[in-house]
Amino acid sequence: MEHCAHCGDPCKEELIYLEKLPFCCNGCKTVYELLHENDLSYYYELEQTPGVSPREFEHKFDFLDNETIADKLLEFKDGHTSVVAFLIPSIHCSSCIWVLENLNKLQPAVQSSQVNFPEKTIRITFNSDRVHLKQLVKLLSRIGYEPYISLEDSDKKKRIINRSLIYKLAVAGFAFGNVMFLSFPEYFEVDGYWLERFAPVFRWLMFAYSIPVVFYAAQDYFISAFKGLRSRILNIDVPIALGILVLFVRSTIDIVLNWGTGFFDSLTGLVFFLLVGKFFQQKTYSYLSFERDYKSYFPIAVTRLAKDENENVYEEQVEVYEIKKGDRILVRNNELLPVDAILIRGNALIDYSFVTGESELVSRNSGDKLFAGGKQQAGVLEVEVLKPVEQSYLTQLWSNDVFDVDKHSAFQSFTDSISKRFTVAVLTIAFVATLFWMIYDPSKAFNVFTAVLIVACPCAIALSAPFTHGNLLRIFGRLRFYVKEALVVERMAGVDAVVFDKTGTLTSGSGSNMTYEGIALTNDEEELLTSTLRASNHPLSRSLYDMLKDHDIKTLDSFEEKAGKGITGSADDQFIKVGSYKFVSEGKGDENKLEESINRTAVHISSNNLYKGCYVFQNQYRDGLSELLKELSKEKKLVVLSGDNDGERERLMKLVPAGTAMYFNQKPEDKLNFIHEMQQNGSKVMMVGDGLNDAGALQQSDIGVAIAENVNIFSPACDAILDASKFDQLAQFFQLSKSGMRIIRWSFVLSLIYNVIGLGFAVTGNLAPVVAAILMPLSSISIVVFTTLATRYFGSRLIKNKNE
Amino acid sequence: MSIIYVLLTISIVVALGFFAAFVISVRSGQYDDTYTPSVRMLFEDEVVKESTEDQPIENNDKH
């Protein structure tokens, strides 16, 4: 089979040749011509078949005619020049970057365009007098790079990137390096005259360098320690803040009274290493977003039917937020309904997969209620708004308090729980040692007290968790399990109950199983059926066609598609009807069958008006599901929460291990409350879900994991995104997070050894600045090396196990 | 030996200069996207080679 020269897809349905090159559709051919004419054919040299089939829907971007909406999308506008940034999900290769950055060859009014590949965004500077935003968007769509514009863009606040950690790291690193240089002469104790003359200058310079480190770079530790103390928690930042403070005060006193050189090198080094740990802990996946709510799915504008003075109805584009109850709006093919509404006119065939994860379409008749979040799949609908966007059944979920709560404030990490005992122990040692020296040699008491606090500063302990979790985060990312932040890895180790959504989570969104029930079809009938399905665009027809496409194709004499009902086709003297039971049996079918057909998804077939049978679609459960659940059930409680009816209960029973609780007909709020209840009973719950209806449960759970067939497509707000193809490895991820906790324990032991050695120097009053300056970085670096090697080892063992 | 004061001053000024350069480059967003420039760099050579007769391709280097 030929492959399209533009997009690389096999040319199944059509085969168009242009200059001896095959194309799979007219759209691809048009893009090729357009790029060719405009001297952009380098696009095809850079990568093999880099293109994306353009899909253009008429009227889709009409809302950009409304200047208020168009202006909201602009990042910047000044006279003639405008700047706009779009998210373009189809950016995928270097050819994409090249063609998009040469946009001005296609549209001279574009002054410059810059692609950010990891984020899949493009920023275009253009002359707004010469080209309208809508034309620009249409141009992008025409070459296959359709911008994704959603409701989220309308209340786009200026994106503030918090770079303060980088600045702090820079300040600390800068000061650390310079102070090290300045300390050198005194490390080597060059001859007396030199030291006497220049030491004060060097020391005061070091003091100057450490001021920004203490008061700017280290401020987070002071703030966190203060917050901890106020809520009576001795978190790890308390001994750290104490250590930093003591280091600074002691060193300042040292140089003021000319006792010595002070510990400025250790001080700046300590803060630098701590900040490196903090920096390492965060790994951002720029192309993933963990914070999405319904706004990323919903359109920015809709077509409203309004009346002018003469009672003539006209269409206008309005922002979604302006829609009120009672408004009439139009929903076109492939548009998403942003409000709850009553269907007035048209055949509704709604895809609720955004909401429920269920990919099968639902058909509705006029007078029926439609819920926000559904995507129309056939023709134009006219609906009357029942509830505006923020009050709809779906979006109400976001008004729940759970979305305002920060999960982390409540979570006490392992490091924090250790640090309580640690702080108490250190303070005890400091006071005992001071007391001893008070009696024995009072002149050394202050020296010893501060030295103990300095050397016990738990830098290495504070680094173990960030580096272990940071490494695990990266290993998980390579295995396509994208975790939002390091703390999530630790919380994962403590999970003892896992709750699964059914549709889209346990079942895969694509490739449902189809089985035929009824009177066997003859070969002729199957051929006619295949040919008829081929002409239809209904999703069920498409998937059935994919299964039957090996049959020969007949030329149809007639074909008719009745949206929401079914299709008819005839060839030779045969006539076939395909579709809903009601449509196929023409109302003559028996009632039992009709009822049965409502509860399941099936395509019914009649030939020459004689009912034959139906293809029944069954959910396809993910590969390795039973094995995974069996593995998980050894240590964890398992629950299945489904929004669907219990039609699949029997089948599911066979797959899940005994003792798994199953609940059906769960509304989004029910799921949320269920998890809340489990938590009340002391469980640490992981929720695994996919649709927007799981959003509340994902938020409420200790860890919300969203399953994504394609991680570039949006998933609801969560703590981690798991690539659907790696679903069966969830148990291994749990294992690895547990290994992580073991590694942290070991490194605590390791750093305690360093602390004991340091304390030996400190309590005997022998802590010279140079000893502190060696011990502190040495302990930090050995912790970093240890955790990195250990996590690598466990990670590679996991990958090896998987391959066997 | 008072040359040491001059040297110290120079070292501080140079160090502060680099520090300022780093902060400015971070602030301008240079490190926000570290991947695309690496790809973009490879195009331009080939485009120039291809279209030597045409007018030079405009490089969109308004970063």
Contact residues for A268 (Cβ-Cβ < 8 A; gap 6+): A172, A175, A176, A179, A209, A210, A213
Q: Does some domain include residue B33?
A: yes
The per-residue pLDDT for B54 is 43
Identify the bridge partners of residue A686 per DSSP, sorted by sequence position: A498, A703
Give the residue from chain B lying closest to A284, CA to CA: B32
Nearest CA to A525 among A578, A456, A451? A578
**What CA–CA distance (Å, rounded) separates A323 from A391?**
11
Contact residues for A174 (Cβ-Cβ < 8 A; gap 6+): B15, B19
How many C-beta atoms lie closer than 10 Å to residue A377's C-beta?
21
Question: Do the chains contact at A114 and B26, CB–CB below 8 Å?
Answer: no
**What CA–CA distance (Å, rounded) separates B61 from A277?**
35
Question: Do the chains contact at B40 and A102, CB–CB below 8 Å?
Answer: no
Model confidence over A733-763: pLDDT tens digits? 999 999 999 999 999 999 889 888 888 888 8
Average pLDDT over residues A181-210: 82
3-state class (DSSP) for residue A518: strand
3-state class (DSSP) for residue A768: coil
| Whole-number average pLDDT of chain A | 82
What is the secondary structure of A164-202 as a DSSP string? Answer: HHHHHHHHHHHHHHHHHHHHHHHHHT--HHHHHHHHHHH
The per-residue pLDDT for B63 is 46
How many C-beta atoms lie closer than 10 Å to residue A639's C-beta?
20
**What CA–CA distance (Å, rounded) separates A657 from A647?**
19
Structural domain for B22, as ranges: 3-50
Average pLDDT over residues A282-305: 76
From the list B4, B19, B36, the residue facing A117 with the nearest CB is B36
**What CA–CA distance (Å, rounded) separates A458 from A776?**
10
Q: Does some domain include residue B13?
A: yes
pTM: predicted TM-score of the whole model, two decimal places: 0.78
Q: Does some domain include residue B58?
A: no
Give the residue from chain A lying closest to B51, CA to CA: A39
Q: Does A213 touch chain B (CB under 8 A)?
A: no
Query: Which residues of chain B does A209 touch, with a Cβ-Cβ cutoff of 8 Å?
Result: none
pLDDT band at A451 (very low <50, low <70, confident <90, very high): confident
The per-residue pLDDT for A287 is 66
Question: Do the chains contact at B50 and A42, CB–CB below 8 Å?
Answer: yes
Identify the bridge partners of residue A363 per DSSP, sorted by sequence position: A349
Measured in angstroms, the CA of A286 and the nearest CA of chain B are apart by 9
* B-interface mutation test, from A83, A91, A93, A94, most B Cβ less than 10 A away: A94
Q: Does some domain include residue B18?
A: yes
Query: Which residues of chain A does B62 touch, with a Cβ-Cβ cutoff of 8 Å?
Result: 112, 114, 125
CATH 3.40.1110.10 fits A513-618, yes or no: yes
The per-residue pLDDT for A588 is 65
**What CA–CA distance (Å, rounded) separates A134 from A410?**
47
Average pLDDT over residues A559-563: 75
Q: Does some domain include residue B30?
A: yes
How many C-beta atoms lie closer than 10 Å to residue A573's C-beta?
7
Question: Do the chains contact at A97 and B43, CB–CB below 8 Å?
Answer: yes
Nearest CA to A413 among A163, A675, A702? A702
Nearest CA to A342 among A391, A387, A379, A385? A385
Contact residues for A428 (Cβ-Cβ < 8 A; gap 6+): none
Per domain, the residue ranges of chain A are 1-54, 62-153, 164-283+415-467+739-803, 300-334+339-391, 484-509+622-734, 513-618
**What CA–CA distance (Å, rounded) separates A169 from A279?**
8
Count: domains in chain B:
1
Nearest CA to A52 among A93, A98, A2, A107? A93
The per-residue pLDDT for A590 is 65
Cα distances (angstroms) measured from residue A269 to each of A178, A180, A332:
11, 9, 62
For residues A768 and A465, the answer to whether their CB atoms sit within 8 Å is no
Cα distances (angstroms) measured from residue A608 to each of A140, A522, A568, A574:
47, 13, 11, 6
3-state class (DSSP) for residue A638: strand
Query: Which residues of chain B does A114 touch, with a Cβ-Cβ cutoff of 8 Å?
Result: 36, 60, 62-63
Percent of chain A with pLDDT over 90: 12
The per-residue pLDDT for A108 is 86
Provide the CATH topology of domain A300-334+339-391: 2.70.150
Question: Do the chains contact at B27 and A114, CB–CB below 8 Å?
Answer: no
User: Comparing A38 with A477, which gets the higher pLDDT?
Assistant: A477
Give the residue from chain A lying closest to B16, CA to CA: A174
Measured in angstroms, the CA of A94 and the nearest CA of chain B are apart by 7
The per-residue pLDDT for A511 is 52
**What CA–CA distance (Å, rounded) separates A398 from A681?**
25
The per-residue pLDDT for B56 is 43
Domain A1-54 class, CATH top level: mainly beta
Cα distances (angstroms) measured from residue A361 to each of A372, A504, A738:
15, 14, 42
CATH 3.40.50.12280 fits A62-153, yes or no: no
Identify the bridge partners of residue A617 per DSSP, sorted by sequence position: A514
AA identity, residue A220: D
Q: What is the CATH number of domain A484-509+622-734?
A: 3.40.50.1000
Nearest CA to A263 among A245, A251, A249? A251
The dihedral over CA atoms of B21, B22, B26, B32, expressed in degrees to the nearest 10, equals: 120
Average pLDDT over residues A648-674: 83
Read off the tokens for A43. 């696009």
Question: Do the chains contact at B35 and A113, CB–CB below 8 Å?
Answer: no
Q: Does some domain include residue B62?
A: no
Flag the least confident range among A83-92, A218-227, A535-544.
Answer: A535-544
Model confidence over A505-557: pLDDT tens digits? 887 765 556 778 788 888 888 888 888 887 776 667 777 777 777 777 777 78
* Interior angle at CA A185, CA A183 and CA A191, nearest 5: 145
Question: Do the chains contact at B40 and A101, CB–CB below 8 Å?
Answer: yes
Q: Does A161 touch chain B (CB under 8 A)?
A: yes
Q: Does A180 touch chain B (CB under 8 A)?
A: no
